[in-house]
A and B are shown apart, each in its own frame.
Chain A
Amino acid sequence: MNPSATKDAPAQEVHPIPRVSLLLWFALLGALAGVFLLELCLGSVTIPFGSVLAILMGDSEVPEGWRQIVLLFRLPRAVTAMLAGAALGMAGLMMQTLFRNPLADPFVLGISSGASLGVAIVVMAAWGFGWTAFIQKAGISAGASLILAATAGAMGILSVIMALARRVESNVTLLIIGLMFGYISGSLVTILFQFTQEQQMQTYITWTFGSFGGVTWSQMTLFAPTLLVGLLLAWSLSKPLNAFLLGEGYARSMGVNVRAIRLWIIVGASLLAGTVTAYCGPIGFLGIAIPHLCRMLMKTSDHHVLAPAVILVGAIVALSADLLAQVPGARIVLPLNAVTALIGAPVVVGIILRRRHTMEVGA
């Protein structure tokens, strides 16, 4: 036996849930504040740190142009990135636990495919039936119509999945159904674009790049509360999620109402992933990577610890990715999805190679 294990085993009370050091939490909060401020300072125009603080404090001495950039563009963008990162991380965590599969992401149930289909249909309709003229008359911006389309598509898939989840016994069956819906949506999108012109296709492709920059303050009034509700719902499911780590059989034997909880998990994850996709496009990779990063940092798969960690780390990672995508100091902006995968994938490979067991199924 490992001598240190014997020494560590205390004669007094064993606390079953080890505490994560406060220092780590403060470090994460500090990192979050840091990247948040960087996001406000950096971009195509660099604004000095002091001026950004002054603008946030409501100081009117600062040049009006800078005020506009920070308050109307960078601040909503930073808030969107934080919320979206937290939401995708949380949705990914729930899906990985529900399906006990380290490769699951927020979109395994076909949420983003549904949203893509919705957007593709709207883009197509805009060209085919003069939809653009109609929505302009109705007073909806082009951006808002994409949001509506993505929401409708995601909700459509979600309602089918929910109806099936009530009847299907096994999670694996549900996973396969979700994947198949993804393929169906994908092929429908391809077929639709056989009848479209290049320009419409470009609108769609740009949407699939993903961006945190499209959410205005007025849209934020729906975006932020929806995600906050979703995050709270997900956090409150920590206890049954822990039981799900052992599999459905054990979860049921411990008194978890498996079907009801599964439905709540799907509702929560879909609300989070669907909302983010609708406003920011299908942002890949964050949802799969953030939970793994958190498990490595916190050295546990306990959801009571992982839920807050995922919110913090998700916000930090999404902000950092957005910073990189804007290539500070340069005039170009990279597609967000390119950055998340290009930078993130090697990081995850590194984690897996170093600590294989953190990736255990269900972990």
Chain B
Amino acid sequence: MKERPFLETRDLVVGYARPRHPRRVVVDDINVILRPGELVCLLGPNGAGKSTLIRTLCGMQAPLEGEVLVEGEPLGKLSPSDLARRMSLVLTERVAVGMMPVATLVSLGRHPYTDWAGRLGARDREAVRRAMADVGIEPLAHRPVCELSDGERQKVMIARALAQEPGVMVLDEATAFLDLPRRVELMHLLRSLAHEGRRAILLSTHDLDLALRCADRLWLLAPGGPLVQGVPEDLVLTDAFARTFADAGVLFDKGSGAFTLALEGRGTVALSGNGIPGMWTYRALERAGYRVVHERDAVTCVETLEKDGRLCWRIRGREPVHHSLESLLAHLNSCGAGEGS
């Protein structure tokens, strides 16, 4: 059975149009679909138009051409409160609401459902309770928001967005100012919210690695477009991922699934060694600008050894033995290893 998409774009063109100015198209020809139960990450270098696209998708900016359909209805035809029942938002900005208990802030999400005076009925209170439970912030319910850490605050904002009971949640770089453990935690939270609650969640982010591991689908936006979408692994194998970030001075290494700095090459060396020491030696050599190749293609070969229970390194056939990678790299650099090979 095919489920009705929560969010769909048809030949969407986003950008800016001002009177008496030529219109500026940021991305065109966008045809994407957001389905229930999906966590989608929107990735792209700075300036590619992620924010412009997000703003257009949630109705803060009019599309230049084409249309956005929310649960099958054109975005422009929905009243603000109809839209708010279908889509909720979490933004980058740090909210400062002062002395307000967490539960009260979460209950603001009931805005589109309550009467003009904002009275909360039993159903509203239940939705607030469930939203806080889903995000795991029940113990914070009575704490004032101003006393929370950044990570806790962002969880509160996610709970508020959940209390709105939307089909689609859009998060615009909502994890940007958090530390890595908090970002991992939030990403897993969003994933389970999407999967278990049959919601569609769209997150624009700069966390490429995390997005590759957690997202069900990726939308890749290279500067000037087009928007490419697919399952993360497909996008890696077809090099779409690498192409999106190609200009940024980083290289995407399909082998390791990680980004490397596109450094000036110092030449090639071979590496003999395995396990964890081998992996970190590999990374050290790579960072220092050496390309690690097979033994038969290199003049210099680095070996990892274990002497008296201590890890050490040696360049094959040469002295001395190095007791740290720092000393090994200094030696390699000074003797111009790898050159002319």
A binds B: yes
Checking B58, B91, B96, B120 against A362 with a beta-carbon cut-off of 8 angstroms, the contacting residue is B96
Quick check: is A191 within 8 A (CB to CB) of the other chain? Answer: no
Chain B interface residue number, banded = 35 or more
- Chain B residues positioned under 8 Å from A6 (CB to CB): 139
Interface residues of A in 250-267 (CB under 8 A from B): 250, 252-257
Nearest-neighbor residue (CB-CB) of A239 within chain B: B118
- Chain A residues positioned under 8 Å from B112 (CB to CB): 254-255
Quick check: is B237 within 8 A (CB to CB) of the other chain? Answer: no
- A109–B239 alpha-carbon span in the complex (Å): 55
Among B97-105, B284-292, B322-330, the stretch that binds chain A is B97-105
- Chain B nearest CB: distance from A247 CB in Å? 6
Among B33-41, B79-87, B263-271, the stretch that binds chain A is B79-87
Quick check: is B138 within 8 A (CB to CB) of the other chain? Answer: yes
- A236–B118 alpha-carbon span in the complex (Å): 10
Whether B106 contacts A249 by the Cβ 8 Å rule is: no
Whether B96 contacts A253 by the Cβ 8 Å rule is: no
- Chain A nearest CB: distance from B317 CB in Å? 59
Whether A250 contacts B91 by the Cβ 8 Å rule is: yes
Label chain A's interface by main secondary structure.
loop
Q: A13-B125, A254-B112, A300-B104 are in contact. Are A360 and B80 (CB under 8 A)?
A: no
Chain A interface residue number, banded = 35 or more
- Chain A residues positioned under 8 Å from B99 (CB to CB): 295, 299-301, 357-358, 363
- A14–B139 alpha-carbon span in the complex (Å): 11
Interface residues of B in 66-118 (CB under 8 A from A): 79-85, 87-89, 91, 93, 95-101, 103-104, 106-109, 111-112, 114, 116-118
Checking B59, B80, B93, B146 against A257 with a beta-carbon cut-off of 8 angstroms, the contacting residue is B80
Q: Can you list 7 residue pairs at the A/B interface with Cβ under 8 Å?
A: A1-B139, A9-B139, A17-B120, A249-B93, A255-B81, A357-B98, A363-B98
**Which residues on A are within 8 Å of B, measured CB to CB?**
1, 5-6, 8-9, 13-18, 100, 236, 238-239, 242-243, 245-247, 249-250, 252-257, 295, 299-302, 304, 357-363
**Which residues on B are within 8 Å of A, measured CB to CB?**
58-60, 79-85, 87-89, 91, 93, 95-101, 103-104, 106-109, 111-112, 114, 116-118, 120, 125, 128-129, 132, 138-144, 146-147, 164
